[in-house]
Chain A
Amino acid sequence: AQSVSQHNHHVILSEAASLELGCNYSYGGTVNLFWYVQYPGQHLQLLLKYFSGDPLVKGIKGFEAEFIKSKFSFNLRKPSVQWSDTAEYFCAVKRGDYKLSFGAGTTVTVRA
């Protein structure tokens, strides 16, 4: 079955540490790739997206992600996290049938 896998369920790190969240998908056709963030009590917000072109995508709040087609991966990174980055992060893949499939989410806790 087609799926989106996020490698970590819960990540705990200190401020200024670097963050990398893994995401792999199993769909073989053309895809759009997204990372969403959900702060406590708030909407899902788009962090960044990949449609085509440069596989290194820069998003808001200092986040970036790299699409590696051969590995079916779209990992999210931030060089130096802040306490305000504490949130739930979701990787999502839009497939050729236009449906969005989400990963299970990764809870990121940043300690001051």
Chain B
Amino acid sequence: GAVVSQHPSRVICKSGTSVKIECRSLDFQATTMFWYRQFPKQSLMLMATSNEGSKATYEQGVEKDKFLINHASLTLSTLTVTSAHPEDSSFYICSAGDGAALLNTEAFFGQGTRLTVV
């Protein structure tokens, strides 16, 4: 299957600072990427849909000013957690597919980023 690379895999930051997470599609072009958040022992919750060259679409309850998403190219989307607080500590996962925004296609997932805010 296609490869999606996420970086960093683990990051610890101080409260009040910002953290950027990258999601790259390595062997295909992804017009759409998705960002998820996973709490311990819970499901993956979709945060936003990232569209190349346009603004991201955020799910209800997700603060767009808190979680900045940029999808500047067909192979890279970034999620920036701004002014991070301990409650932002979580596991963040991206997914992409060359037709991920269509039915009858599958998405491929990055390895996730464990963010710890201290």
Spell out A's residues near B (CB within 8 Å).
4, 9, 30, 32, 34, 36, 42-46, 49, 51-52, 90, 94, 96, 98-105
Contacts and interface: CB of A to CB of B under 8 A. Distances in A.
A53 B2 CA distance: 24
B81 interface: no
B43 A44 contact: no
Interface residues of B, number: 25
Nearest to A99: B46
B44 A43 contact: no
Contacts of B77: none
Interface in B6-53: 34, 36, 41-46, 49
B103 A98 contact: yes
Interface string B80-118: 000000000000010100001111111111111000000
Contact of B43 (A32, A90, A98): A90
Contacts of A43: 109-112
Instruction: List the 8 closest A-B pairs by CB distance, nearest first.
Output: A44-B109, A102-B44, A102-B43, A51-B104, A104-B43, A98-B101, A43-B111, A43-B109
Given A102-B44, A103-B43, A42 B111 contact: yes
A60 B112 CA distance: 22
A99 B41 CA distance: 21
Looking at A43, A99, A102, A104, the one whose CB has the most chain B CB atoms below 10 A away is A43
B61 interface: no
A100 B34 contact: yes
B93 A51 contact: no
Given A32-B106, A44-B95, A90-B43, 18 more contacts: A9-B41, A30-B103, A32-B104, A34-B106, A42-B111, A43-B111, A45-B109, A51-B103, A51-B104, A98-B100, A98-B102, A99-B34, A99-B46, A102-B44, A102-B45, A104-B41, A104-B42, A105-B41
A101 B36 CA distance: 10
A44 B103 contact: no
